[in-house]
Amino acid sequence: SDAEKNPLIDSYHTILKAKSFRFTFVMICWSIGTLALSILLVIYVGSAPPFIGWLGIAASIAIGLVNVAKLVKPNFKVYDTVSSIFGMLSIVFELIIGGWLIFYSFIIP
């Protein structure tokens, strides 16, 4: 009946909002950590090619700003599209840095 469904629907929306907030918060934390790592990659030139660090800086700033906008304005209309585009940028960064670290571990004596 409708009387039984309404509390369940309300609890569903509450759980979904909490889950969305947690994910957004975690993505902001991820972007801060990635920004710190990427700055180190740019500063210490011998550790990795600088373009990897610059790509990480761009990806972390983009993801961080999009998720801060999501926290500030929860009904951000283009969030899914923009988040997907910048998410692909961060995936490319993660794949390149992961590949570099694996490659670099084999060439160190």
* Token pair in block for residue 79: 């969030």
Residue 22: per-residue pLDDT: 83
**Phi and psi angles of residue 38, each rounded to the nearest 5 degrees, phi first:** -65, -35
C-alpha 98, offset from chain centre:
16
Cα distances from 48 to residues 1, 28, 34, 55, 108, in angstroms, run 62, 24, 15, 12, 13
Residue 18 has pLDDT above 70, yes or no: no
What confidence score (pLDDT) does residue 2 get? 59
pTM here is 0.78
Residue 53 CB neighbours (<10 A): 22
For 58-106, write each residue's pLDDT tens digit.
999 999 999 898 888 877 777 778 888 888 999 999 999 999 888 887 8
